[in-house]
Amino acid sequence: MLNKLTAHELLEKLEKKETTVNDIATALSSRIQEVDPRVRAYVRLAQPGQINQCGLPISIKDNICTEGLNTECCSKILEGFKPPYDATVIKKLKSAGIAIWPNKLNMDEFAFGSSTENSSFGPTHNPWNLECVPGGSSGGSAAAVAADEAIWALGSDTGGSIRQPAAFCGVVGLKPTYGRVSRYGLIAFASSLDQIGPLTKDVRDSALLMNIISGHDEKDSTSADIPVPDYTQALHGDIKGLKVGVPKEYFIEGMDPETRKIVDEAINKLKSLGAQVAPVSLPNSQYAVPVYYIIATAEASSNLARFDGDQYGLRKAGIQNLIESYKQTRGEGFGQEAKRRILLGTFALSHGYYDAYYLRALKVRTLIKNDFDKVFSEFDCIVAPTAPTPAFKIGEKSADPLSMYLSDIYTISVNLAGIPAISLPCGLTKSGLPIGLQILAKPFAEETIFRAAYAYEQSTEWHKLKPKL
Amino acid sequence: MEYEAVIGLEVHVQLKTKTKAFCNCRIEFGSPPNSLTCPVCLGLPGSLPVLNKTALDYAIKTGLALNCTVQEFTKFDRKHYYYPDLPKNYQISQYDLPVCKDGFLDIQVDGQAKRIRIKRAHLEEDAGKLIHESGNSLLDLNRTGIPLLEIVSEPDIHSPQEAHEYLSDLKMVVEYLEVSDCDMEKGTLRCDANISLRPKGAQELGTKTELKNMNSFKGVKDALAYEIQRQKVLLESGEKIIQQTLLWDPKENKTVVMRTKEEAKDYRYFPEPDLPPFLISKEKIEQVKKALPELPKERLQRFVREYGLSEYDAGILVASKDRAGYSEECFCAWPDKNKKPVANWLIGPLAGQSRVPAKNLVELIDLVENKQLISHLTGKIVLEEMIASGRSPSVIIQEKNLAQISDQGALDKEAEAVIKANPKSVEDFKSGKANALMFLVGQVMKKTGGKANPKVVQEVLRRRLDNA
Amino acid sequence: MAISRETIEYVANLSRIQLSEEELKKISGQLAAILDFIDKLKNADIGNVSPTSHILPLNNILREDSPKESLPAVQALANAPQKKNDFYAVPKVIE
């Protein structure tokens, strides 16, 4: 039962000596043994005796470096890679007395995907319906938290990779402001968009985890030197007078009507709690997905150039010629989606196409950022659905990359603008799948997000629902 | 037809910061392989670069010394190509907004002044070292990430001699700034060349080739001369020049083809997302400008002006900052207005790397040139002893009893004996053979163990012979 | 936008990825569809807009030139698929 509790409940119990970290680890272990063969949130089963029992455990996505512990981005090309260093967030967790769970969480290869189907370890299943995807790319993180196989977890979000799986699995997922959490040790997908963030059972755990992992890091030149407030101070439940914008471009034809209805109800709930809700416009939203697929793939093609088998990871055996070795190693080591994105990104940067694709995308990115600046000059936050539909079936979109890309339509702009956003559970469909409410705020206004999210969460019961497994 | 060579040089200067460009690994030559690396310079997944402040300062300093405009907004870009010595398979470099732009260096070729324009100077990271073995290549990444300043000239160079002058003047300037060791043999200074030929007087540029692997000043000169000749022969026989990269083989004294250009050139530059841009304020630029040390050309002119040296002598003395500083110290210690004797000793007997305290050197020069206590020849012997032992010249002269005998009375005795013993030579002298006197002087010198003052000996001998 | 076979082959070679004939065909079609979708960007009004490469208004992030411990060679080389003495061993470059 201990594994079903939140981190703040367990920390309190540990404080009062009502339980031990040993008991918590044992409870988690047996839960994983029980359900993970069906959910497959973790990349492999932990070896007995490997479990570190020095503190409250946290589970980590497979793209965050953990010293001496396999970190493979769920890619064949990084098979067996044991980083000789800890990511900054891991260092911070360890010094806060949190224990790193010794088995990493499943994800789409290099975070390329929205379903956790593109993993060299096979897909993760949604705990609410095992035939559905958990979302992605942090699908393992979301599913593990939802299935009580993890107390809390870290994921990463480049275009919605924390928020969309959090929505699909009915948990709380926060993408912090770009620069709020150090990226040092996060295996880069798109360096100008990536952020590490928490996936938790409730908003308080999210705030607690942000207190630990946020802050300036001299090892990350893009990390902001801005003081970190105590985020739990924002959890008071009062949102009277909070100015909330609802972007009209997000509620369009083709959106799943049930999702729309559930999100509308959530917005009404905010109103009833005293928020001042008004429509706003983000006119360049329509360009977010194409801009993202240029910028993210261009950066990815560069970041993934290093995987060539010279120093670590897979090397195709028996090839004498270097160029041939690179081509075959990469041809075999990368999955289909990785290849597609590397090719697209290389194309967008290649001679003769740079201006038409990459440079144009950077300019439209400015327009998208300007849209948000304008809204946030008058509003405290924006609310929107996290995803246009609930979790889809495994295999449903895997043949059509473009339709998969469109499932990130509501999350991508946030990364392009560098702003923070949370997804929290706001209802269940008739078929029993969770829906997520997204709350966005201006850069470094995570407190505003926590304030709104906590007030909403405490006035509903959605975060207490558990999938039947 | 007469052809004109058009040459541009790309010079890579390894900056001598304490640590690498983007991580805190130490820079040290001759360390065991792969002992000076970390996740950042290894390019391990997840690692991120942070720019070394001193590297940027050195780049600004060098740019200003080369008369460049320092950009108020500069940024880094990624340059992509696959090679095992480049762990990330991209190099952090600068593309469209380099730190420095539009400078020049004035050189002298055969007494003629010539201005070579500098297009740009940008910061980038060095690659590792590959050792090719029979089955594999072995990779050492200690050098990976050391800051380089790439200085690109305009194609204003027209002969191997000009290239040589440009390169040695550039090296001199950089050495004066103390931002690099500039040692071509050690690879802290590297030079590539772009070279093409065109009919003399033509404006249009011919097809160029790129020359690499010229690991010495001589190599640069030889390789360019070889390539000019090679292209000339091709053009004269009506053949086309192929755009390609050529490697200089100093053993065989020829160039070999490395690779054709077409495939490799698509570097896919884009702004490095991991490094926010850098703003260099006017104040900062002014501050660095003010703090620039005296540069070789300024020092040369000052040596001519203040110490009355010839341009030639001053040129020799300022060629290295160390030597120039030492010379200056010696000039200051020398009380006379005429510094020529000091310059002569610095260029002559002390031309090598050895140093003695300026005070001692000046004392020695005074003993030889003014006091004439010892001969020039003995002076050189004393100098060697000074270098070896570190002692002062007067101590050495006293201990080894090297002082010249200038006492006329003492030398007269010796002269008398020599005249007696060599009647034949005396006869020869009287019959007008000048050599005979020199022979007699030599005999006196011999008798005194070389210590006699030859001038005085000559005077004494002449007096006796004339009176005889 | 249609994307030619030559372009795909060129880009695959640039990014050092071996594609099977089947993959090449499949990816060509998928990239063409994605590029068609991306062409939507041509409608955006970017007249005087400057590009955003870095989303945070940060600049002059520099560190002091002070050395820190490097990794011991044995740790640096721990993940190497092949090594010899304290070197990484890699396939030979054959131009």
The pLDDT tens digits of the residues spanning B236-259 come to 999 999 888 899 998 999 988 876
Nearest to B53 among C54, C62, C84 (CB): C62
Task: Please check whether residue A101 lies inside any domain of the structure.
Answer: yes
CA–CA gap between residue B418 and residue A438 (Å, rounded): 116
CA–CA gap between residue A386 and residue A159 (Å, rounded): 11
Above 70 in pLDDT, residue B12?
yes
Asked if B136 and C66 come within 8 Å (Cβ–Cβ), the reply is no
Least trusted range by pLDDT, from A36-40, B305-309, B349-353, B461-465:
B349-353
Task: Please check whether residue A46 lies inside any domain of the structure.
Answer: yes
Boundary of a domain, candidates B284, B306, B326:
B284
Q: End-to-end distance of chain C based on CA atoms, in angstroms? A: 34
Q: Which tokens go with B282? A: 């006017």
Among C59, C74, C87, most B C-beta atoms within 10 A, so best to mutate, is: C87
Nearest to B137 among C77, C85, C90 (CB): C90
pLDDT tens, residue by residue, A92-107: 999 999 999 999 999 9
CA–CA gap between residue A187 and residue A352 (Å, rounded): 30
pLDDT band for B424, please (50, 70, 90 cuts). confident
pLDDT tens, residue by residue, B291-343: 999 999 999 999 999 888 888 888 888 988 888 988 888 888 888 888 888 88
Asked if A366 and C49 come within 8 Å (Cβ–Cβ), the reply is yes
Percent of chain B with pLDDT over 70: 98
Residue whose tokens read 């495939």: B263
Asked if B273 and C85 come within 8 Å (Cβ–Cβ), the reply is no
CA–CA gap between residue A465 and residue A457 (Å, rounded): 12
- Mean of the per-residue pLDDT values for chain A? 95
Alpha helix (H) residue ranges in A51-121: 88-95
Min Cα separation A303/chain B (Å): 8
Q: Which tokens go with A106? A: 């499943």
Question: Which pLDDT score, from 0 to 100, does residue A47 have?
Answer: 57
Q: What is the mean pLDDT of residues B187-192?
A: 95
Question: A409 and chain C: CB distance < 8 Å anywhere?
Answer: no
Question: Which pLDDT score, from 0 to 100, does residue B15 have?
Answer: 98
Among C11, C50, C70, C90, most B C-beta atoms within 10 A, so best to mutate, is: C70
Give yes or no: residues B67 and B215 share one domain. Answer: yes
Question: Which pLDDT score, from 0 to 100, does residue C1 have?
Answer: 64
Boundary of a domain, candidates B234, B266, B284:
B284
Give yes or no: residues B9 and B111 share one domain. Answer: yes
Question: Which pLDDT score, from 0 to 100, does residue B259 have?
Answer: 63
CA–CA gap between residue A422 and residue A174 (Å, rounded): 4
Task: Please check whether residue A357 lies inside any domain of the structure.
Answer: no
Nearest to B17 among C59, C65, C82 (CB): C65
Above 60 in pLDDT, residue A175?
yes
Domains of chain C: 5-41 (1.10.20.60)
Question: Which pLDDT score, from 0 to 100, does residue A46 have?
Answer: 61
Dihedral angle sign, alpha carbons of residues A447, A449, A450, A451: positive
Q: Which tokens go with A73? A: 């981005």
Q: What is the mean pLDDT of residues A12-16?
A: 96
Q: What is the mean pLDDT of residues B340-356?
A: 79
Q: Which tokens go with B91? A: 């190099």
Min Cα separation C42/chain A (Å): 8
A1-18 residues labelled b (16+ CB within 10 A) or e (exposed): ebbebbbbbbbebbeeee
Min Cα separation A122/chain B (Å): 22
Question: Which pLDDT score, from 0 to 100, does residue B468 have?
Answer: 63
Contacts of B242 (CB under 8 A, 6+ apart): B207, B209, B260
In the DSSP assignment, the letter for residue A105 is B
Question: Which pLDDT score, from 0 to 100, does residue B431 have?
Answer: 83
Give yes or no: residues B254 and B369 share one domain. Answer: no
Least trusted range by pLDDT, from A254-263, A318-327, B118-127, B352-361:
B352-361
CA–CA gap between residue B140 and residue A385 (Å, rounded): 52
Asked if A332 and C88 come within 8 Å (Cβ–Cβ), the reply is no
pLDDT band for A70, please (50, 70, 90 cuts). very high
Above 50 in pLDDT, residue A265?
yes
Helices (H) and strands (E) counted in chain C, each on its own, are: 3, 3
Are A347 and A294 within 8 A, CB to CB? no
Asked if C66 and B17 come within 8 Å (Cβ–Cβ), the reply is no
Among A349, A354, A357, A366, most B C-beta atoms within 10 A, so best to mutate, is: A349
Give yes or no: residues B387 and B444 share one domain. Answer: no
Asked if A224 and C63 come within 8 Å (Cβ–Cβ), the reply is no
ipTM of the assembly? 0.97
Min Cα separation A349/chain B (Å): 5
Which of B32, B352, B30 is CA-nearest to residue B186? B30
Give yes or no: residues B65 and B206 share one domain. Answer: yes
If phi > 0 it is left, if psi is from -120 to 50 it is alpha, else beta; for residue B117 that is beta
Touching A: which chains, 3+ CB pairs < 8 A?
A: B, C
Question: Which pLDDT score, from 0 to 100, does residue B385 have?
Answer: 80
Give yes or no: residues B271 and B308 share one domain. Answer: no
Cα B24 to the chain's mean position, in Å? 30
Boundary of a domain, candidates B250, B267, B284:
B284
Above 60 in pLDDT, residue B287?
yes
Nearest to B32 among C16, C56, C73 (CB): C73
Torsion of CA A143, A147, A153, A154, to 10 degrees: 0
Let me know if C62 is exposed, middle or buried by CB neighbors in 10 A (0-12, 13-18, 19+): middle
Domain extent for B442? 408-467
Question: A361 and chain C: CB distance < 8 Å anywhere?
Answer: yes
Among A189, A302, A350, A365, most B C-beta atoms within 10 A, so best to mutate, is: A302
Question: Which pLDDT score, from 0 to 100, does residue A51 have?
Answer: 61
Q: What is the mean pLDDT of residues A432-440?
A: 98
Cα B261 to the chain's mean position, in Å? 33
Above 70 in pLDDT, residue B211?
yes
Which of B304, B313, B390, B299 is CA-nearest to residue B345? B313
Above 80 in pLDDT, residue B352?
no
CA–CA gap between residue A468 and residue A127 (Å, rounded): 8
Relative to beta strand B147-153, strand A243-247 is unpaired
Q: What is the mean pLDDT of residues A321-328?
A: 94
Give yes or no: residues B374 and B437 share one domain. Answer: no
CA–CA gap between residue B376 and residue B231 (Å, rounded): 53
Asked if C38 and A402 come within 8 Å (Cβ–Cβ), the reply is no
List residues of A with catalytic annotation: 61, 137, 161
CATH number at residue A125: 3.90.1300.10
Residue whose tokens read 């009209």: A248
Min Cα separation C25/chain B (Å): 23
Asked if C76 and B141 come within 8 Å (Cβ–Cβ), the reply is yes
Percent of chain A with pLDDT over 70: 98
CA–CA gap between residue B204 and residue B199 (Å, rounded): 9
Above 70 in pLDDT, residue B263?
no
Question: Which pLDDT score, from 0 to 100, does residue A455 have?
Answer: 98
Interface list for A 241-280 with C (CB within 8 A): none
Q: Give chain C positions within 8 Å (CB) of B244.
A: none
Report which of residues A217 and B458 the model is more confident about: A217
Q: Is the peptide bond before A156 cis (omega within 30 degrees of 0)?
A: no
Dihedral angle sign, alpha carbons of residues A279, A281, A287, A293: negative
Min Cα separation B118/chain A (Å): 26
Domain extent for A250? 2-285+364-464
Q: What single string gives the DSSP state of each residue in A308-376?
A: SSSSSS---TT--BHHHHHHHHHHHHS-HHHHHHHHHHHHHHSTTTTIIIIIHHHHHHHHHHHHHHHHH
Give yes or no: residues B249 and B357 share one domain. Answer: no
Nearest to B80 among A188, A305, A358 (CB): A305
Report which of residues A255 and A298 the model is more confident about: A298
CA–CA gap between residue A194 and residue B380 (Å, rounded): 71
Report the number of distinct structural domains present in chain A.
1
Q: What is the mean pLDDT of residues B252-279?
A: 85
Q: Give chain A positions within 8 Å (CB) of C41.
A: 287, 290-291, 294, 360-361, 364
Q: End-to-end distance of chain A based on CA atoms, in angstroms? A: 14
Q: Which tokens go with C94? A: 């054959």
Asked if A350 and B268 come within 8 Å (Cβ–Cβ), the reply is yes
Contacts of B133 (CB under 8 A, 6+ apart): none
Q: Give chain C positions within 8 Å (CB) of A405.
A: 34
Asked if C92 and A311 come within 8 Å (Cβ–Cβ), the reply is no
Relative to beta strand C62-63, strand B51-52 is parallel
pLDDT tens, residue by residue, B87-126: 999 999 999 999 999 999 999 998 899 999 999 999 999 9
Q: Crossing angle for the helix pair B358-365 and B376-389, nearest 10 degrees?
A: 160
Report the number of distinct structural domains present in chain B.
3
Question: B265 and chain A: CB distance < 8 Å anywhere?
Answer: yes
pLDDT band for B261, please (50, 70, 90 cuts). very low
Above 70 in pLDDT, residue B419?
yes
Task: Please check whether residue A200 lies inside any domain of the structure.
Answer: yes
Beta strands in B213-308 (DSSP E): 244-249, 254-260, 270-271, 278-279
